[in-house]
Amino acid sequence: GAVVSQHPSRVICKSGTSVKIECRSLDFQATTMFWYRQFPKQSLMLMATSNEGSKATYEQGVEKDKFLINHASLTLSTLTVTSAHPEDSSFYICSASRGGGQPQHFGDGTRLSIL
């Protein structure tokens, strides 16, 4: 099956630090990658949609300067949380899709804790 690797799985850092999260599709070329945020016992909130070689499309209310997304290749997308603060603490999950109505395949998520 399709495998998506997300790294790191957990980050604990001080307020003001910038944190980069990587999302890789290991065995398929992902036309589109997605970044979600999930609060405890809640659903996934789509943050942005990332297409290879073009700028990400952010959902309403998501600050693009705060959450920098780079989709440099068909197998790699990165999310950088810039100058992170405690309110940015959350579970961030990426997914990748081949497109054409195919299901999304998810990484295992990154638990971000800002002290």
Partner 1 sequence: SQQGEEDPQALSIQEGENATMNCSYKTSINNLQWYRQNSGRGLVHLILIRSNEREKHSGRLRVTLDTSKKSSSLLITASRAADTASYFCATDGGYGNNRLAFGKGNQVVVIP
Q: Which residues bind partner 1 (CB under 8 A)?
A: 4, 6, 31-32, 34, 41-44, 46, 49, 51, 91, 93, 95, 97, 99-109, 111
Q: Supply the minimum distance, in Å, between the C-beta of residue 102 and partner 1.
A: 7
- 44 or 62, CB closer to partner 1? 44
- Joined tokens for residue 108: 């295992």
DSSP-assigned states of every residue in 3-26: -EEEE-SEEEE-TT--EEEEEEES
C-beta of residue 112 within 8 angstroms of C-beta of residue 89: yes
| Minimum CB distance to partner 1, residue 64 (Å) | 17
Measured in residues, the chain has a length of 115
The least distance separating partner 1 from the CB of residue 92, rounded to whole angstroms, comes to 10
